[in-house]
Amino acid sequence: MMNTNVEATLNKQINAEEHASRLYFAMGVWCDRNGFAGSAKYLYAHAEEERMHMIKLVHYINERGGTALTESLPKPQNNWDSILDVFKNVLAHEEMVTGMINNLYEVCLNEKDYLTSNFLQWYIQEQVEEESGAREILDKLTLAGNSPGGLFHFDKDMAALAAAQASPSI
Ligand code: FEO
């Protein structure tokens, strides 16, 4: 049997990862609409990655004999002021998710659920990478500024980054 508090907090995380997936998908759609095809590719891939984060949690709950829930989701934002605004929001969202993972880890420790805290190590490491990746993208965007040439190269870099991303494994 899973600890009910841990199970409920894991279910909240499932919902948050699925919401992140839809938010990044919506950001990808905005990028496509606004001439940033490379950034769109990157964000669509990122949306898939978030779905993988969700499914990994579902599998874990199932393996432990718990009940994974598919619950309703908030409507994601659909408009941003600029490409810089999009990626500032990616970083802010990742920081928020890191806070949730930290809280989840604390719940596990308080409930003495060491198996789940061990399972969460993967997510903790993943958040370090996701946040640093988002910061690198913001640095590149800051360098590009508002110059059309700079933004063109930024978007080409994003297409290359999307292509280089390993396909998510569940
Ligand atoms: Fe699943 Fe980007 O956090």
pLDDT tens digits, 89-120: 999 999 999 999 999 999 999 999 999 999 99
- Over residues 44-52, the mean pLDDT reads 97
Exposed/middle/buried for residue 40 (C-beta within 10 Å: 0-12, 13-18, 19+): buried
State in Å: Cα 54 to ligand 1 middle.
Answer: 9
Q: Are 3 and 111 in contact (CB under 8 A)?
A: yes
The residue ranges of every structural domain in the chain are: 4-163
Residue 76 pLDDT greater than 80, yes or no: yes
Cβ–ligand 1 distance for 50 under 6 Å, the answer yes
Residue 170 pLDDT greater than 80, yes or no: no
pLDDT tens digits, 142-163: 999 989 999 999 999 999 999 9
Phi-psi label, residue 5: left if phi above 0, alpha if psi -120 to 50, beta otherwise = alpha
Domain 4-163 is in which class?
mainly alpha
Cα–Cα–Cα angle for 50, 56, 117, nearest 5°? Answer: 110
Q: How far is CA 61 from the centre of its chain?
A: 20
Neighbours of 80 (CB within 10 A): 17
Task: Please name the residue that has the structure tokens 């870099």.
Answer: 157
Phi-psi label, residue 53: left if phi above 0, alpha if psi -120 to 50, beta otherwise = alpha
> Mean pLDDT score of the chain, rounded to an integer?
96
State in Å: Cα 147 to ligand 1 middle.
Answer: 30
Cβ–ligand 1 distance for 97 under 6 Å, the answer yes
Which pairs with CB-CB distance under 8 Å and at least 24 residues apart come from 88-92? 88/138, 89/27, 90/24, 90/27, 90/43, 90/46, 90/134, 90/137, 91/131, 91/134, 91/135, 91/138
Residue 168 pLDDT greater than 70, yes or no: no
pLDDT at 165: 79
Whole-structure pTM value: 0.94
Cβ–ligand 1 distance for 53 under 6 Å, the answer yes
Least confident of 52-56, 79-83, 102-106, 165-169: 165-169
Tell me the residue length of the chain. 170
